[in-house]
Structure 1
Amino acid sequence: MNKWRRMSATVMAVLLLALPVAEGEAWANSDATTGDLAGAKAREMVETLIEGYGATGVQYAIRDEGKVVLSGGLGVNEAGSKAPVTKEAMFGIGSVSKMYVTAATMMLADEGKVNIDQPLTEYIPEFKMDDERYKQITPRMLMNHSAGLYGSHYKNSMLFEDNDTENHDKLLENLQSEKLKSEPGEYSVYANDGFQLLEILVERVSGMSYSEFLAQDISNPLQLTSTKTPRDDFNRDRLYPVRFPGIAGELPVENANVIGTGGIYSTAEELTLFSEVLTGERPDLLSKASATAMQKSEYRSGVWVKDESNIFGYGLGWDAVDLAPFDNYDIKAVTKGGDTVLYHSALIALPEQDISIALLSSGGSSIFNTVAASNILLAYLKETGNIADIQPDKTFAVPAKKDMPDSLNAYSGLYGTVGSTLQITIGNGEVDLPGMMDGLIPEQTYVYTGDREFTGKDGRTVISFDDQSNGHTYVRVKSYLELPGLGQSVIAYYESQKLANNPLADSVAQTWTERNGKTYYAVDEKINSLFYFSPQILSKTIELNGQNGYANGTKIKDGDHAVNIAEIPVMNGRDVFDLTFSKKDGVEYLQADGRIYISEAAVKPIYEGVASNVTIPVSGNARWFKVGEGAAGRTMTVDLSRNGGFAVYDANGAPVNISVATGTNTAVLPENGLIVFGGRGGDIMTITMESK
């Protein structure tokens, strides 16, 4: 939903895989009343996103006091030729959808139907969790990410041409067996499930489906004709086409079926029109008081990094309510970014100036869109006289090492974040840390520079060890990220949390040692899921830290259970999980993050004869196979069932063919690759293997 979350190096590489761009210009511009500065900056930023950051189509709009003053778009086709992106083209807006369900909740509060500080159970009586603290959760905590939920239930949420409501319908059932990771209200950390619960709240209180509520209470009054959900009936040809590196042709339509948290489609112009509701310019829909309340610094109510310039700082719905770099100009800026698998978005609003910008893309990332949109908006503010000049990027010098107090040596030890642990050693005033934010912050040595801080060799990144009020010690990071062609973005967050040693009994240690390095594959994801583009999302490899008693960042409890220990504010504590193992018919299964995974020991080589069948079990579980030596290099043809499909991956996990996306039923099987088949329970698919 939102890619401020940690991404694997493989996913990051895909995002940065841009298509070649042919010479020549082909822009779509409409209602442009600005001079050259903002328009030129917009073109520069869009070209940069396409040429260097994986975007294949970009659309943007600026609205000033209700009027669209700049609007345009550019895309490239598979051959690299440029083509205009019109203002009517629709994009998935990902987690910017959270602003709609937040607004809907506040609209119901305006009507006296919801009190955002009353327990959620007042509005959803069947909401229960395996943790008595759930009774303390309020709608406000859902909107400011402080409810303490584990994070996200993604299973079967992102599907090709399929608006299956399973994820929505089973959320309350799935939460019944889960615990909270923190006290409700203790701190804010991104949680998609909270906005799914708000969607259910809106439905319970309004008596309508959420899609009906959006149409009746938001789209119709604003005359939005391009703001839709996967449940709506509209012309899907208006959705901007998306491609994926290595997969030929345009992909089928993506349905993000977690509508409250990330499922809305819209256009840049309509998104800026909706932003007027969020900034209090449409009191007929949302009161000025509620809009103002949404913009307050909710994140300051709990544990947080030192208060300074940042791209994070939650309000109600908003990712940041005092967004950098606008705070350097004494301008209040609020922002929300969003990502599905294929689409990416950024919305920035300046409530006091009644100005907003939306920048939507296929391919790329909301991180990059937000930085690009900030640059365009600064150019517009200069052009219109709102600011005198644009401040230059900060420059940095090689840090000068100082003598470190011996007391800081005590911060050496074991640290953990979601999915991993790390031993940190402080010695001679230096700390070595691996790369962070998937390489945006490089691996480097940090030297002590005074004030209990260590600075990286490039001068851009500063770390410290913070003892917080909740009793935890965190590695705090502040960094000026350098994004070539886009500029700088400042971020402050907690990277990891200090952990206590967790000694294991010999028998428990032996059990986990046998699992170490083994991979488990998801079996309950529909074959038309977009997550098959990133098989690392649908697999878990056990990474054991047996010496300290942890696996994949979770604390081992016994031979079959490990539980989340991460209580990290801001972003690195999101989407946590427990690990639970069980056996059935001699096969080991793993349950984690709402999915069921099967051990690699049960993944057998695909039959190497000329003809064979694959049957989907009654459970509907997917079936995984290895590509053995005798099958490598041969062409596999599958007689697919009506609802069946398959995906083939090479030894590095890159997709070779995903039949649902390509519409083809053949694939040349790569050496040491993987194949997964899916469909409905009982489906039989016939496989023909080309003879050697």
Structure 2
Amino acid sequence: MAVAVVKDGKVVMSKGYGVSSLKTKAPMDANTLVGIASNTKAFTTAALGLLVDEGKLRWDDKVTDYIPEFKMYDPYVTAEFTVRDLLCHRSGLGLGAGDLMRYPDSTNFTVHDLIHNLRYFKPASSFRSEYAYDNTLYIVAGEVVARIAKQPWTSFVETRLLQPLGMRRSATSFSRLPDPTNVADAHASEDGKVRVVRRHLGSTADPTGAMFSAGGIYSSVADLSQWALMLLGGPGAPAPLLKPATQWELWSPQTLKHLSPGPTFYNTHFAAYGLGWDLTDVGGFKQVSHTGGTVGMVTKVTLVPDLHLGIIVLTNQEEGLAFQAITTSIMDHYLGVTGQDRVQTMLGYKQASAAESDKATAAAWKQVALAQRAAPKKADYSAYIGRYHDAWLGDVNVYQQGPQLWLRAVRAPRLVGQVLPYRGSTCVVRWKLRSINADAFATFTLDDQGRASGLKMKPISPATDFSYDFQDLDFKRVTESTAGAAQ
């Protein structure tokens, strides 16, 4: 973990803890680079803000003014969709819609594929009525930057935001880092043991990094301190890059978020999303923050403008409650809250969540074990074998390899797993890549001859990361070919 605190125009703390890799045991320090994931979104909205300040864009311009081929499922939504709508999670899309075009990495989708495929997603709610977090539309926002600026989002953000702030070690993706010698490895749990895992490298069909505008930046707490100081302003801070009115717009509520009833840490009354930032109140002050999560790394940036306070926590493990515990402990100090053990509190949340998840997955695997014992030694999978097509993810092959049935996504080659019997025509897919932690139900639709005609999926565990949006898939069988693993 690396932690930085800025206060009143100065960096008052910037330090690393532990190791940046379980393999190398190299120490984590203030300059260790970490994938900040969705904290990138604030840089994308700031990039758009620069274009607003230059008179090249208005927040409520229609997306089709810049991307004529942009098309949502509903023609009315397409016609009315604004640049602002790209940024505040009120599109009507379901949570994480389309993320399987990016996760796991090594898919072969391009930005143009992603924009084209938006038309196939049926809305989960009416337009602008509900908050549902998405990444896909932030990639479209990056394309808006590219088309107006006439240069890739990657180079625009680096030359107009990172470099002016002196964030010299940071870059818009791992592959663009000028000096990769002090970079944290990604770590995740694989069947209960934390290991170094492959970092998210993006699509093989996206060499320019255009799809990283939702979460590609690598940075350190030392560099991000300059970003936080610039945004907070005041004596000693770097010169502002945005006009005050534009920055105020980024930090103004756009979409209301649900706030659970009951006591909160800081007597919080509202929650909303701005443009690339979460907004809430803590102890009577406005808090501007965001979290980020990518494979093996989770991060949090928190600003309290009225206190000229910024807290940055970067980690190289998938444990969001850890950064929350540290952020809250530091916030307690500045708000005068005493007598709280935030680590213990967050541990309690973790244990409760894990218990719920473990209950769901244990029940599923118990049923799989029963089904396997009841299955014949030489099972006949011919009713299921074949190629299935989904409008936006493309094809998956269901094939037999030895005595086992497998599923492999053609355009996402790391999405491959064994298909195990569960109950009736519902199976469980156990992904070969165990760090995914997203095993899923797969329910085959059978025709009147008992042969599969379609396939739908959904995660087993309620704790599955929302980017594995299996529930949005609707496969139709297109061939009964005995497609093998190589296909």
| TM-score, length of structure 2 as denominator length | 0.68
Secondary structure of 1:221's counterpart equals coil
**CA distance, structure 2, for counterparts of residue 185 and residue 306 of structure 1:** 23
Change (3 A) 1:391 1:188: farther
What is the aligned partner in structure 1 of residue 428 from structure 2? none
Change (3 A) 1:538 1:227: farther
What is the aligned partner in structure 2 of residue 318 from structure 1? 277
Counterpart check, 1:136 vs 2:80: yes
Maintained 8 Å contact 2:186/2:295:
no
Secondary structure of 1:336's counterpart equals strand
**Partner of residue 145 from structure 2, selected from 195, 199, 202:** 202
Q: How far did residue 120 of structure 1 move?
A: 1.4
**Partner of residue 148 from structure 1, selected from 73, 89, 92:** 92
Q: How far did residue 436 of structure 1 move?
A: 8.0
**CA distance, structure 1, for counterparts of residue 272 and residue 469 of structure 2:** 18
Maintained 8 Å contact 2:291/2:301:
yes
**CA distance, structure 2, for counterparts of residue 436 and residue 578 of structure 1:** 28
Correspondence list, 1:508-527, <5 A: 521-527=408-414
**Partner of residue 32 from structure 2, selected from 66, 89, 92:** 89
Q: How far did residue 575 of structure 1 move?
A: 4.8
Counterpart check, 1:255 vs 2:201: yes
What is the aligned partner in structure 2 of residue 377 from structure 1? 331
Correspondence list, 1:339-488, <5 A: 339-379=293-333, 381=334, 387-390=335-338, 392=340, 437=353, 439=355
Q: How far did residue 214 of structure 1 move?
A: 0.8
Q: How far did residue 584 of structure 1 move?
A: 3.3
Q: How far did residue 233 of structure 1 move?
A: 4.8
Change (3 A) 1:578 1:158: closer
What is the aligned partner in structure 2 of residue 157 from structure 1? 102
Maintained 8 Å contact 2:297/2:317:
yes
What is the aligned partner in structure 2 of residue 241 from structure 1? 185
Task: Summarize deviations over 1:504-545 as a string: whole Å, max 9, x none.
Answer: xxxxxxx99xxxxx985534313499993445547542399x
Task: Summarize deviations over 1:301-342 as a string: whole Å, max 9, x none.
Answer: x887679837953222113x115xxx2x22221110011011
**Partner of residue 474 from structure 2, selected from 561, 568, 580:** 580
Task: Summarize deviations over 1:43-70 as a string: whole Å, max 9, x none.
Answer: xxxxxxxxxxxxxxx1111111332111
Counterpart check, 1:126 vs 2:69: yes
Task: Summarize deviations over 1:560-591 as a string: whole Å, max 9, x none.
Answer: 58799xxxxxx98995844423223325xxxx
Secondary structure of 1:542's counterpart equals strand
Question: Looking at both structures, which has the greater relative contact order when contacts are Cα pairs under 8 Å and sequence separation is at least 6?
Answer: 2
Q: How far did residue 118 of structure 1 move?
A: 2.4
Change (3 A) 1:312 1:272: farther
Change (3 A) 1:111 1:265: same
Correspondence list, 1:98-109, <5 A: 98-109=41-52
Task: Summarize deviations over 1:121-180 as a string: whole Å, max 9, x none.
Answer: 1221111123212222212222211112243433463577x7x87343421122133333
Task: Summarize deviations over 1:331-363 as a string: whole Å, max 9, x none.
Answer: 221110011011110100011122101100101
**CA distance, structure 1, for counterparts of residue 432 and residue 313 of structure 2:** 24
Q: Which moved more, 1:133-142 or 1:100-109?
A: 133-142
Letter in 2 for 1:142: L
Maintained 8 Å contact 1:189/1:574:
no
Q: How far did residue 191 of structure 1 move?
A: 0.9
Q: How far did residue 391 of structure 1 move?
A: 6.2
Maintained 8 Å contact 2:44/2:142:
yes
Maintained 8 Å contact 2:187/2:318:
no
Maintained 8 Å contact 1:345/1:365:
no
Q: Any unmatched runs of 5+ in structure 2?
A: 203-208, 343-350, 360-382, 385-404, 417-430, 447-452, 459-464
Letter in 2 for 1:265: Y
What is the aligned partner in structure 1 of residue 366 from structure 2? none
**CA distance, structure 2, for counterparts of residue 519 and residue 136 of structure 1:** 43
**Partner of residue 252 from structure 2, selected from 291, 296, 309:** 296
Letter in 2 for 1:153: G
**CA distance, structure 2, for counterparts of residue 540 and residue 374 of structure 1:** 37
Change (3 A) 1:107 1:165: farther
Counterpart check, 1:174 vs 2:134: no
Change (3 A) 1:573 1:270: closer
**CA distance, structure 2, for counterparts of residue 273 and residue 73 of structure 1:** 17
**CA distance, structure 2, for counterparts of residue 284 and residue 78 of structure 1:** 35
What is the aligned partner in structure 1 of residue 243 from structure 2? 287
From the CA coordinates, give the structure whose radius of gyration is larger: 1
**CA distance, structure 2, for counterparts of residue 574 and residue 135 of structure 1:** 29
Letter in 1 for 2:64: T
Q: How far did residue 245 of structure 1 move?
A: 4.7
- Identity, % of aligned pairs? 23
Q: How far did residue 268 of structure 1 move?
A: 1.1
Task: Summarize deviations over 1:167-219 as a string: whole Å, max 9, x none.
Answer: 43421122133333323211211111121111111111111101110111101
Change (3 A) 1:561 1:254: closer
Task: Summarize deviations over 1:7-63 as a string: whole Å, max 9, x none.
Answer: xxxxxxxxxxxxxxxxxxxxxxxxxxxxxxxxxxxxxxxxxxxxxxxxxxx111111
**CA distance, structure 1, for counterparts of residue 131 and residue 406 of structure 2:** 32
Q: Any unmatched runs of 5+ in structure 1?
A: 1-57, 382-386, 395-434, 444-510, 513-517, 547-558, 565-570, 588-601, 605-613, 618-692
Maintained 8 Å contact 1:137/1:184:
no
Q: How far did residue 95 of structure 1 move?
A: 0.8
What is the aligned partner in structure 2 of residue 70 from structure 1? 13
**CA distance, structure 2, for counterparts of residue 331 and residue 303 of structure 1:** 19
Q: How far did residue 288 of structure 1 move?
A: 1.5
**Partner of residue 218 from structure 1, selected from 151, 161, 167:** 161
Letter in 1 for 2:201: N
Q: Which moved more, 1:253-262 or 1:83-92?
A: 253-262
**CA distance, structure 1, for counterparts of residue 254 and residue 261 of structure 2:** 15
Letter in 2 for 1:390: T
Change (3 A) 1:249 1:334: closer
Letter in 2 for 1:525: A
Q: Count how many residue pairs are aligned between Structure 1 and Structure 2.
A: 393
Counterpart check, 1:267 vs 2:220: yes
Q: How far did residue 248 of structure 1 move?
A: 9.9
Aligned-residue Cα RMSD (Å) equals 4.2
